[in-house]
């Protein structure tokens, strides 16, 4: 069984070949609601995640809804004061995320 944050990181890695460019600082997932899963992604470059017209984030949201089996809400937070040491650079780094 995968942790919810690992599922989100896998979905991101499916859609973005260069996950390191997103500048992901943290991922947190709230699965307590019966109606929806809320994933909060804090990153340095949110415009890369949303894509033109939001089509990239919609694709990730649909994939997460399939994986979790219920509606998924993605909250994006921009991190302005980025500590380069805390950015997750490669998909293999996602195990470092605190749950």
Going from N- to C-terminal start, the domains of the chain cover 4-96
Q: How many residues does the chain have?
A: 99
Task: State residue 40 phi and psi, 5-degree precision.
Answer: -110, 120
pLDDT per position in the chain (99 positions), as tens?
Answer: 567 877 888 888 888 877 777 778 788 899 888 889 999 988 888 888 887 788 888 999 999 999 999 999 999 988 876 665 555 555 445 544 443
Q: Which fold has domain 4-96?
A: GMP Synthetase; Chain A, domain 3 (3.30.300)
């Amino acid at each position: 069984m995968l942790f919810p944050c690992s599922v989100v990181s896998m979905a991101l890695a499916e859609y973005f070949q260069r996950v390191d460019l997103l500048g992901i600082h943290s991922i947190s997932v709230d699965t307590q609601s019966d109606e929806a899963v809320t994933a909060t992604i804090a990153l340095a470059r949110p415009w890369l995640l949303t894509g033109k017209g939001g089509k990239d984030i919609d694709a990730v949201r649909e994939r997460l809804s399939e994986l979790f089996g219920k509606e998924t809400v993605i909250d994006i937070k921009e991190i302005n004061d980025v500590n380069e040491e805390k950015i997750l650079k490669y998909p293999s780094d996602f195990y470092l995320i605190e749950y």
